[in-house]
Amino acid sequence: MTLSLTKGFAALPIRDNNLLKQIRREPCLICGTTPCDAHHLRIDFETKGMGLRPGDDHAVPLCRTHHEDLHRYGNERLYWAMQGVDPMKYLEERDGQSKGS
């Protein structure tokens, strides 16, 4: 079930457990390993507020090692650049597939 609520004028992040399960079965964007964690991208999806993360529609597959590395590194934009991976391309392809099905 996909859920997007509005509070005032701001949309709350989408939560979708089925999408997260699908992402966790996909290979890591960096090394191709499975299974994966669903990492919630914060690049270009700045979530304001303590404890809030971007919506599940902004999650990408990362193996546990790379997921932990990214969080330890801290600078998400630079981390992805150093890995030579564009996570936004993954989101665009996934969105294109879901709209085409």
Query: 0.85 exceeded by the pTM?
Result: no
Predicted local distance difference test score (pLDDT) of residue 99: 64
* Residue 85 Cα to chain centre, angstroms: 13
The whole-number average pLDDT for the span 5-31 is 81
Helix axes 64-73, 76-83, angle to 10 degrees: 130
pLDDT at 100 over 50: yes
Predicted local distance difference test score (pLDDT) of residue 24: 97
pLDDT digits (tens, 9 = 90+) for 27-44: 999 999 999 999 999 876
pLDDT digits (tens, 9 = 90+) for 48-75: 555 667 889 999 999 999 999 999 998 9
d(CA 99, CA 48): 28
Helices first, then strands: H and E counts in the chain: 4, 4
DSSP conformation class of 61: E
